[in-house]
Amino acid sequence: MSKSLKKIYGYKINPANKDSNINQQAGFAAEVKTAAREDAEKIISGNNKTKTVRTDDMAKQSDGKGNTIGGNNDQLYDIAEVDKNGIYVEGTARQLKFVGGTPEKCTDALLNKDWDKYRDADVPIEVPSDFYDGVKKELEDRANGIKDQIADAEAKGNTHLVEKKKSELERVEKTSNNLKKGKLTKSEANEARLHPKWSTVKDITKVAHSGGVEAAQSVIMISGGIAFIRNSVSVIKGDKDIKEAAIDMAKSTAGAGALGYVTGFSGAAIKGALQNAPSTYLRALSKTNLPAATATTVLEVGQTLSRYAHGDIDGTDCLIELGEKGTAILSSAMFATKGALVGTMVMPVAGTVVGVLVGGMIGYAFSSSYYRQLISALIEAKEAHEERKRIEAEC
């Protein structure tokens, strides 16, 4: 990225032009956050065919209309979509204008003759989401007012004024037709410029929440089906009445859904943090199942340790559960990650897939073997201790 929120935050502000500087820099921040939010929405919806980027982060190419798009300081476009090869997807480019403190002032700025280049190239223009309705109405009101002026000028035979007003009307109508609703409000853009860390945390929370909801829905569907079958059998056998079965099914499904939400939320947050890490190794980890495995394992292990701390299970049972719930999964994920990194160096695409598969199998095999030997020794020791206690009691 040529610009990040952190970098934009470091831009200097001239005390004499503080508001103007902040507005301009908030526009840069809006570009960064718009690209990030759109990419998050695509990933959540399962669309990984295109990626939204700032044009500063694109290679120079044609927009399909005879104009250049991409490269540093693009004169027409701020945001666009590219495919996996970095090729521009026609019709996705637009300009962001987070200008003015109110919809009226934003409209005034949009109609400036200096911005006729966007109208001439038929470039879509995005404005703050909270300004959109107000700007749209303001443009419609101005268009209607100009139409009345044209009619009045025609009635008086003032052809010069008629042509002038028609030119104004064309500018207003083109601006209205090309107006798009942005992904951010004006205050969100300013917050991203002035408080980038807090702004980022809020977006991470929103994305992680979406991940949690998706995970919870999937878990509820599965656990709900299992709970329905289990409780139906209990009712048929006479072990439960319908009311007891319904309560049990509701509790099981709700508990599983809550656990699924926490797991999905945590996994998405961890994955996002890894994707934006400065280390190449950590970014590579984000492409594996390690974030989700980590979140799941932490929750499962936490429940086991809680039972051990409360005395519900002894040390041997605790280690048995820990092994069942986490050891093999994490070991497999870690070896898969190593395999992916090695595979990527050998073959960029196929090597990654092969590395994940081979590494995962090796990690799981090693972990399972060591775990079985450890548990076998612990169980034998526990049984020997109990046998000694029995013999002592008999003696």
Please tell me what DSSP assigns to residue 59: P
Q: What is the pLDDT of residue 43?
A: 79
Tokens linked to 196 = 């980038």
Q: Is residue 386 part of a domain?
A: yes
- Identify whether residues 141 and 228 lie together within a single domain: no
Q: Are residues 186 and 297 in the same domain?
A: no
Q: 175, 193, 211 — which closes off a domain?
A: 193
pLDDT of residue 341 exceeding 50: no
Pairing of strands 68-69, 61-62: antiparallel
Q: Considering only residues 350 and 300, tell me which one the structure prediction assigns the higher pLDDT.
A: 300
- Judgement on whether residues 227 and 268 belong to the same structural domain of the protein: yes
pLDDT tens across 119-143, in order?
Answer: 999 999 999 999 999 999 999 999 9
CA-to-CA distance for 110 and 325, rounded, in angstroms? 59
Q: ∠ CA(242), CA(246), CA(251), 5° rounding?
A: 150
Per-residue confidence (pLDDT) for residue 182, from 0 to 100: 93
Ranges 133-137, 273-277, 326-330, 347-351: which has the least confidence: 347-351
pLDDT for the residue numbered 369: 61
Average pLDDT taken over every residue of the chain: 81
Residue at which a domain ends, from 276, 296, 312: 276
- Looking at the structure, tell me whether residues 205 and 151 fall in a common domain: no
The mean per-residue pLDDT over the stretch 144-153 comes to 94
What's residue 103's pLDDT? 93
- Among 226, 244, 276, identify where a domain stops: 276
Encoded amino acid at 38, one letter: E
- 10, amino acid identity: G
* Closest residue by Cα to residue 139 from 184, 106, 164: 106
Task: Give yes or no: residues 179 and 225 share one domain.
Answer: no
Cβ pair 261, 216 in contact under 8 A: yes
d(CA 377, CA 354): 35
Question: Would 44 be classed as within a structural domain?
Answer: yes
9: in domain: yes
- Single-letter code of the amino acid located at 286: S
Q: Is residue 281 part of a domain?
A: no
DSSP-assigned letter for residue 327: I
64 and 203, same domain (yes or no): no
Convert 60-127 into a string of H (helix), E (strand) and C (coil).
Answer: CEECCCCCEECCCCCCCCCEEEEECCCCECCCCCEEECCCCCCHHHHHHHHCCHHHHHHHHCCCCEEE
Compute, in degrees rounded to 10, the torsion defined by CA atoms 172, 121, 189, 199.
Answer: 150
The confidence score (pLDDT) of residue 163 equals: 93
Beta bridge partner(s), residue 73: none
**Reported confidence tier of residue 340, pLDDT bands at 50, 70, 90:** very low
Segments forming the whole domain that contains residue 156: 5-193
Beta strands 125-127 and 179-181 are: parallel
Mind giving me the DSSP string for 132-184? HHHHHHHHHHHHHHHHHHHHHHHHTT-HHHHHHHHHHHHHHHHHHHTEEE-SS
Please report whether residue 42 resides in a domain: yes
Domain co-membership, 256 together with 184: no
> What is the separation, in whole angstroms, between the first and last Cα of the chain?
78
- Of 238 and 291, the one with more pLDDT: 238
> 53 with 162, same domain?
yes
Check whether residue 183 and residue 246 sit in a common domain. no
Number of domains in the chain: 3
pLDDT at residue 331, rounded to an integer: 56
Claim to verify: residue 261 and residue 299 sit in the same structural domain:
no
Helix (H, G, I), strand (E, B) or coil at 52: strand
Contact by Cβ (8 Å): 67, 95: no
Tell which wins on pLDDT, 45 or 58.
58
Q: 121 lies in a domain?
A: yes
The rounded distance, in Å, linking the Cα atoms of 40 and 270 is 14
Rounded to whole angstroms, the Cα distance separating 30 from 52 reads: 13
Q: Is residue 318 part of a domain?
A: yes
Say if residue 129 is in the same domain as residue 257: no
* 136-151 average pLDDT score: 95
Distance between CA atoms of residues 5 and 96, nearest Å: 16
Q: Is pLDDT of 54 > 80?
A: yes
pLDDT digits (tens, 9 = 90+) for 320-339: 777 655 555 555 555 555 54
Q: Is 134 part of a structural domain of the chain?
A: yes
Q: DSSP state, 375?
A: H
Q: Which of these, 321, 374, 395, lies nearest to 387 by C-alpha position?
A: 395
**If you search the block for the tokens 């072990």, which residue do you land on?**
239
Residue 95 is which amino acid? Answer: Q
The answer to whether residues 156 and 296 belong to one domain is no
Which tokens go with 357?
């598969």
